[in-house]
Amino acid sequence: MSTPAGSLEAAAPSAAREPVWPHVRGGQPDRIKLSWLIKLHWGGIVGQSLAIVSARWVVGIDVPLLALFGILGFEVVENVGLELWLRRGGQVGERFIATAMFTDAFILTALLALSGGYSNPFSTMYLVNVALATVLLDAAWAWAMLGTSLALFGSLFGLHHLGVLQVLSSLDHAEIMSLHMQGMWVSFAVAAAFIVYVVARVQLALTQVEEALAAERSLSARKDKVASLATLAAGAAHELSTPLSTIAVVVKELMRSAEKSGASSSSLEDLALIREQVKRCRDILHHMSAQAGENAGEPIVELPLASWVDEAMAFLPDPTRVELRTDADLAAHAVAGPPRGLARALRSLLKNAVQASAPGKRVLLRVEVEGGAVRAQVIDQGCGMPQEILSRAGEPFFTTKVPGEGMGLGLFLTHTLAEQLGGNLELKSMPGSGTTATLKLPVTFRVPAAPQRRSEAP
C-alpha cells in the first residue's frame, strides 16, 4: 500500500472508552445530570433498604417498618417518574434537578426522624446531598442546599427536645453509644463510597471533555491545513500556468523548426521530453488543486453503500484486481457525505493497495455494517511498512512511491474527510505482512425504492 501511512485513528473520546452517559440523547448537560442523579437514587434506595432490614432483624432495633418502607416506596415511585420523564424527552432544567435534590433532603430527614433522629449516624448523608448539589448545580443552589440541610438536621434536635421523637428509648445508654459508634463507621464508609464514586465520574467526564476538545482542535487544524493546501495549489496553478504555457508553445515551435531543418533524432527526442515534462507539470498542478478543493461546496447527500463502492471502483486502472466481500445489504444502507469526496477517499485506499501489491495479486475490499457504522477494510498483499513510516501517517506530501505514482495527499485527505463525517481511518501494517486500511463512517438505514410497475397497453 502507498506509504503516506500510519495509525490514522481519529482522536475521538468514544474511540478510547465508553462515554459516561451513553444513553442520554443529545448529550445536554442537564439531562446528563438527571441521568446521573437517577442512578445514585437507585443506589441510595438499595442502601436504605439494607440499613432498615439490618437494624430490625440483625441488630434488633424496633423501628417502624411500615412507615419507613412507605417512604422508600415513595422514593421508588419518584425515581421511576424521573426515569420516564427523561426517556420520553421531557424538559429538564437546573430548577427541575434542584427540586429533585431538595426532595431527597426532606426524604432523608423523614427517614432519620423515624429511626433515631439526630442520634442516627446516617445523618452524615446530608454531606452527600451537599456534595452532589455542589457538583450538579450552580453555586446559589449549592449554598441553598447547605442551608436547607443544616435547617433540616437542626429540626431533628428541636423535635427531640419537644418530645415528638423518642430516640431509641428501648435501649440503655451503653447500648445506644455502642450502636452509634458502629453506625458511624458504616455511615462513613457509605458516604465515602458515594463521594469517591461521584468524584471519579466527574474526573472521567472531565477527561472525556478534554479528549473531545483535543479532537476538535486536531480536526480544526486539519481543516485549516486542507484550506491552506487548496489555496497554495490554486495559487501555484495560476502563477505557473502562464510560464508553462509559454514553454509549451516555444517547444512546439522548436520541434516544428527542427523537423524542417532536418535536426538529429536526439534533438527531437530532447524536445519531445521537454514537452512531455511540461504536460506532466500542468497535470500535477491540476490534480493537486482538484484534490485539495474537491469537497468544497459539494452538498452532503445520503449515498447508498452500493453506489459508493461502485463509484470508488469505476475509475481504478484495473478494477478486476479488487475482490469485494460483504455480508451487508449495500443497497439498504447509506453513508452521508459529499459523494465525490466519499468515492475519492475509498478509491485512494484501493489504488494504494493495488500499487503496493505485486502485479497480478488481488486486493481485498471487505465492507461490513455494524453498530450504526460502515467499516470498509482494504487489505493489500504488499510487503508492509516499518514503524518509522507508519508513524508519519497522514502527513501531506509524504510518500515513498516512485515519482509519478502519487503526491502523498490521498491518505491525508481521506483522514480529514473521515474526521469531518464523524468517523476515522486506521492503518495497521507490519513488514512482510502487508497493510490493512480501515475506513469507518456513520451509516444510515434506507428503504430501497420499490420498482415502479410499467403500465400495460390496453
**Rounded-to-integer distance, Cα 137 and Cα 165, Å:** 33
* Buried-state track 69-101, b at ≥16 Cβ within 10 A, e below 16: eebbeebeebbeebbeebeeeeebeeebbbebb
* Predicted local distance difference test score (pLDDT) of residue 376: 92
- DSSP line for 235-252: HHHHHHHHHHHHHHHHHH
What pLDDT, in 10s, does the model give residues 231-263? 666 666 667 778 888 888 888 888 888 888 877
> Per mean pLDDT, which range of 63-77, 296-310, 330-344 is the poorest?
296-310
* Predicted local distance difference test score (pLDDT) of residue 142: 92
* Predicted local distance difference test score (pLDDT) of residue 48: 86
pTM of the model: 0.47
- CB contact set of 102 (below 8 Å; sequence gap of 6+): 144, 145, 148
What pLDDT, in 10s, does the model give residues 35-48? 888 988 898 898 88
Select the more confidently predicted residue: 378 or 223.
378
**Rounded-to-integer distance, Cα 279 and Cα 281, Å:** 5
Select the more confidently predicted residue: 146 or 256.
146
**Rounded-to-integer distance, Cα 47 and Cα 91, Å:** 29
Which residues on neighbouring strands pair with residue 427, listed in sequence order? 437
In the chain, the percentage of residues whose pLDDT exceeds 90 is: 17
Select the more confidently predicted residue: 294 or 388.
388
**Rounded-to-integer distance, Cα 216 and Cα 105, Å:** 40
Q: Band the pLDDT of 387: cuts 50, 70, 90.
A: confident
What pLDDT, in 10s, does the model give residues 312-359? 888 788 888 999 998 778 888 889 888 888 888 898 899 888 888 888
**Rounded-to-integer distance, Cα 441 and Cα 374, Å:** 5
CA dihedral 14, 19, 23, 25 (to 10 degrees): -70
394 phi, psi to nearest 5 deg: 80, 0
| Cα dihedral 295, 299, 302, 303 sign | negative
Average pLDDT of span 113-133: 84
First to last CA, the chain: 60
* Predicted local distance difference test score (pLDDT) of residue 145: 94
* Predicted local distance difference test score (pLDDT) of residue 7: 42
> Per mean pLDDT, which range of 68-72, 192-196, 219-223, 260-264 is the poorest?
219-223
Mean pLDDT across the chain:
78
**Rounded-to-integer distance, Cα 279 and Cα 239, Å:** 16
- Please provide the size of the chain in residues: 458
**Rounded-to-integer distance, Cα 190 and Cα 205, Å:** 23
299 phi, psi to nearest 5 deg: -70, 155
* Nearest residue to 309 via CA among 377, 411, 394: 377
Q: Does domain 299-445 correspond to CATH entry 3.30.565.10?
A: yes
**Rounded-to-integer distance, Cα 414 and Cα 393, Å:** 11
446 phi, psi to nearest 5 deg: -130, 145
CB 255 within 8 A of CB 271: yes
The C-alpha cell of 209 is what? Answer: 471533555
Hey, how many other C-beta atoms are within 10 angstroms of the C-beta on 237?
A: 18
CA 23 to chain centre: 14
* Predicted local distance difference test score (pLDDT) of residue 271: 86
Is 71 a residue whose pLDDT tops 50? yes
**Rounded-to-integer distance, Cα 322 and Cα 433, Å:** 18
